[in-house]
Amino acid sequence: MGMVNLAFLIVFPVVAAGVLLLVRNNRARSVVVIVSAAAIMIASAWLAVGHLFSETWYPPFEGEWVTILTLVIDVLCCAYIIVKGIRHKKPLAVALAAVQTVIIVAFELLIAHGMTIENNLYVDGLSVIMTLIIGVIGGGICIYALGYMHDFQVHEDDNDKPDRRPVFFALMFVFLSAMFAIVFSNNLTWLLCAWEVTTVCSFALIGYTRTPEAIDNSFRQIVMNLIGGLAFALALVYLGYSGILELDKLIAQGALGGLVIPLALLAVAAFTKAAQVPFQSWLLGAMVAPTPTSALLHSSTMVKAGVFLLIKLAPCFGWSYNGIMVVLVGGFTFLFCSFLAVSQSNAKRVLAYSTVANLGLIVACAGVGTPEAVWAAIFLLIFHAAAKSLLFLCVGTAEHHIGSRDIEDMDNLFVRMPILARLMALGMLCMFIAPFGMLISKWATIVSLVNTDNILLLFILAFGSAATFMFWAKWLGKVLAIAQQDPDVEKTVHPSEWFSLALMAALVLLLSVGFPFLSEFVVVPYLAHFAADILPGTTVWWGSISATIDFDNLIIMAVIVLALIAAFAVQFTRPKKPTASVYLAGVALDAEKRTYRNSLNGETQTTQRNWYLDGWLGEKTLEPIANIISILLIAVGLACSLLVTGGVL
């Protein structure tokens, strides 16, 4: 039964994608998307029922033909990039894709061919958690896209652009399939294939609108991720020579201190996927794509593949050269991107920088490598996926109804889009403040860092968190501001959008309340199973496994969440009657509109912009510094891994 379920999750989205490519009728497409997304959600939940709490399960599946299929898919992906690259005159992308094809084909035919693989697939607690994130959140985003893309296409029609929605939805579903393959593959060649498919899908999704900007940004994405893909392929070659082609065996060997070079290369591959500095610019550029793409790529899939791999490899890091590199790259990414987010007024760019920053935190936790840190990393991953997708979807809907994605234009959103503003506020609260998930996970990060004496990281965390508070609080303030009685413009939001928004909001609240139980019954058992099933008995350094934060304190936080929900529920239903108008220094003309009589006897409206600290924290100032530091760190890290293997260090 489990095997069927697994096959369904990987194959069915591709079938759905095929159908969606052919369907041109809007209503038929809605039906297909909703039914497929629902089927994927149910299958994910079904898998969770069977495997969320149990030990690692290796489905008995030989699948020689799948390996051949992955080779074909790899070659097709590279061919697609080469064709696109030639058409748009991007020699770098063509060269990288060509080199990668040669390496992969040579590897498959010369090294991997004939090697026996014990287990091609696996299912454990973390892959089930990822399945739920991909299936439920990813599926929700696909449903949301129905309404969003309808409005989007209306705008495109005005500009005489063709309707390419069949391609869009097909890509979304292929993406889901590839992500499922990533979290179930124990065979590293399969993993690499799925990895490349996500790269190519996001390339096509970013370039969806075919504007010059979109095409440029999609090529930036493909170049950076091909660098990562190349690193992955090289790691595979090295591993092939060492006789290891399975993820669990790699982890077991790596945890004993071996395989330093392939681990360093895999870390670099994960950095590109997770958009760590200096690769962050592809994620920022990806914001030109329609918002469901951003939501899918940056909350539940694409970037999560990178951190997922690092979390898996975490026992191989710790206080080693690789571990230090991973910790520092993640830490500096968190610091600089939190600062950079302060300087942005474009809501999607704030979300993008915050995404990169939080991924940096997850990467740093994976680098620390202790069970405590992995516990924190898993919760960061879960809550980031839920809260960030809610926020992206909110911004997307707001943009279509107020005509802007600028935070300054979200003034008075509380009145103009009452429900949406509240959901957006919920998403923001979950991102940066106790008692919600992200902050508790950050708390756990602090605990795991003090227990491993990572002093530099603790300083980075302290200062970065201050910036985090600033950029969220000022945005939250704008959204919750209440002024004149503007008309309510959220009446035309599509039901599909409301459904997904409600789903994400419910997830955020349920997860926040259920945090202690999620820790007790899912994440801690997963860590124990993982250590028992995969890590060799000699790696005693992984130590005893327990929740990083005491159950009592988690319960306190959950109770505060419940109390806040109750308080807000009461407040929102109370009658609202202002009895005074704001103070405008005694010369107000219309207090609702904040206008006053100026010194020339004319009428002036007061405006108030948030602070963006652009001079200090702007992209021009910080980005070069961040890139240089990070490139140096990665270069030194790779050099060290070579020297260690060569016996010099």
Partner 1 sequence: MTGLSFVFSLVGFGVLAPVIGCLLAGIDRKLTARLQGRVGPPLLQPWYDVRKLIVKQSAQVNSYQAFYVCMSLVLAVLAGAFFFAGGNFLLVVFVLTLSTLFFIIAAYSTRSPYAELGAEREIAQVMSYEPMVILISIAFYFALRTFDTGVVFSLDRPLILSLPLVFVGLLFILTIKLRKSPFDLSYSHHAHQELVKGITTEMSGRTLAMVEVMHWYESILFLGWVGLFLVWGSWFALIPAIIGISAVYFLEVFIDNNFARVKWQSMLKWSWVVTLVCCSLNIVLLYWLG
Residues lying near partner 1 in the complex (CB under 8 A) are found at 411-412, 414, 433-435, 439, 443, 446-447, 450, 455, 458-459, 461-463, 465-467, 469-470, 473-474, 476-478, 480-483, 550, 552-553, 556, 560, 564, 567, 571, 574-585, 594, 606, 608, 610-611
**Spatial separation of the C-alpha atoms in residues 595 and 590, rounded to whole Å:** 5
Least CB distance to partner 1 at residue 474 (A): 6
Nearest to partner 1 of 243, 477 (CB atom): 477
Other C-beta atoms lying within 10 Å of the C-beta of residue 62: 9
**Spatial separation of the C-alpha atoms in residues 198 and 203, rounded to whole Å:** 8
**Spatial separation of the C-alpha atoms in residues 266 and 311, rounded to whole Å:** 12
Least CB distance to partner 1 at residue 450 (A): 5
Least CB distance to partner 1 at residue 567 (A): 6
Structure-block tokens of residue 110: 């010369």
Least CB distance to partner 1 at residue 509 (A): 16
Least CB distance to partner 1 at residue 443 (A): 6
Nearest to partner 1 of 67, 338 (CB atom): 338
Element (H, E) at 596: strand 595-597
In one-letter notation, the amino acid at residue 116 is T
292: Cβ contacts below 8 Å, ≥ 6 apart: 141, 142, 144, 145, 148, 149, 172, 393, 396
What is the number of alpha carbons within 13 Å of residue 220 lying toward its C-beta? 19
Nearest to partner 1 of 487, 578 (CB atom): 578
Q: How far is CA 91 from CA 222, 228, 621, in A?
A: 12, 17, 30
Nearest to partner 1 of 553, 627 (CB atom): 553
> Residue 635, class by beta-carbon neighbours within 10 Å (0-12 exposed, 13-18 middle, 19+ buried)?
exposed
Least CB distance to partner 1 at residue 452 (A): 12
| Residue (of 71, 75, 96, 74) closest to 85 by Cα position | 96
Nearest to partner 1 of 538, 608 (CB atom): 608
Nearest to partner 1 of 72, 462 (CB atom): 462
| Residue (of 199, 192, 198, 200) closest to 178 by Cα position | 198
Nearest to partner 1 of 31, 559 (CB atom): 559
Structure-block tokens of residue 189: 């060649």
Nearest to partner 1 of 159, 608 (CB atom): 608
Least CB distance to partner 1 at residue 423 (A): 16
Least CB distance to partner 1 at residue 381 (A): 20
Q: Where do the H-state alpha helices sit in 121-211? A: 125-132, 139-158, 165-184, 188-206
Least CB distance to partner 1 at residue 85 (A): 44
Least CB distance to partner 1 at residue 559 (A): 11
- Bridge partners (DSSP) of residue 246 are 187
Nearest to partner 1 of 30, 451 (CB atom): 451
Structure-block tokens of residue 156: 């495109």
Least CB distance to partner 1 at residue 562 (A): 14
Q: Can you tell me whether residue 184 is helix, strand or coil?
A: helix
Nearest to partner 1 of 580, 600 (CB atom): 580
Least CB distance to partner 1 at residue 600 (A): 19
Least CB distance to partner 1 at residue 434 (A): 4
| Residue (of 421, 90, 463) closest to 429 by Cα position | 421
Nearest to partner 1 of 103, 591 (CB atom): 591
Q: Can you tell me whether residue 160 is helix, strand or coil?
A: coil
Q: Say if CB 139 and CB 40 are below 8 A apart.
A: yes
**Spatial separation of the C-alpha atoms in residues 459 and 585, rounded to whole Å:** 43
Q: Can you tell me whether residue 83 is helix, strand or coil?
A: helix
Q: Say if CB 489 and CB 402 are below 8 A apart.
A: yes
Long-range contacts of 505-509 (CB under 8 A, 24+ apart): 505/390, 505/423, 505/426, 505/427, 507/136, 507/137, 507/386, 507/390, 508/383, 508/386, 508/387, 508/390, 508/426, 508/427, 508/430, 508/436, 508/437, 509/426, 509/561, 509/565
Residue corresponding to tokens 């069977």: 50
Nearest to partner 1 of 34, 564 (CB atom): 564
Nearest to partner 1 of 185, 343 (CB atom): 343
Structure-block tokens of residue 261: 């070079």
